[in-house]
Amino acid sequence: MTQEQWHAIQTNDKRYDGKFFYGVKTTRNVCKPSCAARSCKPEHVVIFDTLQQALDAGYHPCHRCRPDLDSWEGPKAELARLATQYIREHSQEKFSLQALSQALFVNPNYLLRIYKENTGHTLLWYHNFVRCEQAAELLQRPDCSVAYISRTVGYANASHFARVFKAYYQVSPLEYRKQFFARSTRG
C-alpha cells in the first residue's frame, strides 16, 4: 500500500473509487476508498487492483459502500430513493411520517433530514407533488370531475386539493384543464 492509497482511504476520497479497492483482513470486507466505515489500522489493509481480485481472495463486498454496485451512491441516497419509492406506491394514502419511517426501519427525524439533504425537498412536498402529477393526468380526461380527481389522488377535500394543486402548477385544476384542451385543439 502506498502513502497516497492510505491517505485516500483515511480521507474517504471518491476520486480513487475504481482505481483500487481495499480489503480489511479482520472483517474480510472489501471497500472502495470512499467508504465511510470506521477506519482500520494500516496493517489490516490489503490493496487490490480490481474488485474481482478481492472476491477471488475471499473478501466480501462491504454493505456500507457497496463496491459491487457501480451506480450505488451510498446509504443516504439509497434511503432517499426508498422513501421516494414508498411515497409513489402509497400516494393515495394520508401522509404518515411514522408509517414511512417504520417501513424503512429508520428514525423519523433522521429520515426527514436525509431526504431533504439528498433531494432538496421535504417528504410532504414530494407526497403532494406525486398526487398533483396524478391529478394533472386525470384532468386531461373530460369525463372526470375535479371532486372525483381530488378523491382519487387521495384528498378528502376538493378545495384543499385545489389549493395544493395551484401551489405546484400555478393554476387551479379547472384552469389547468382549460389550458390543456386549448393546447390540444390548436395542435
Supply the residues annotated as catalytic: 31
What interhelical angle do 75-89 and 123-138 show, nearest 10?
40
Q: Give 142's Cβ-side CA count (13 Å radius).
A: 6
DSSP H helices, the chain, are: 3-10, 51-56, 75-89, 97-104, 108-119, 123-138, 146-152, 158-169, 173-186
Three-state SS for 85? helix
Cβ partners under 8 Å of residue 106, min gap 6: 79
Q: Which of 119, 135, 132 minimizes the C-alpha distance to 168? A: 132
171, three cell numbers:
393554476
Q: Which of 7, 102, 97, 88 minimizes the C-alpha distance to 47? A: 7
Classify residue 83 as exposed, middle or buried by CB count within 10 Å of its CB (0-12, 13-18, 19+): buried
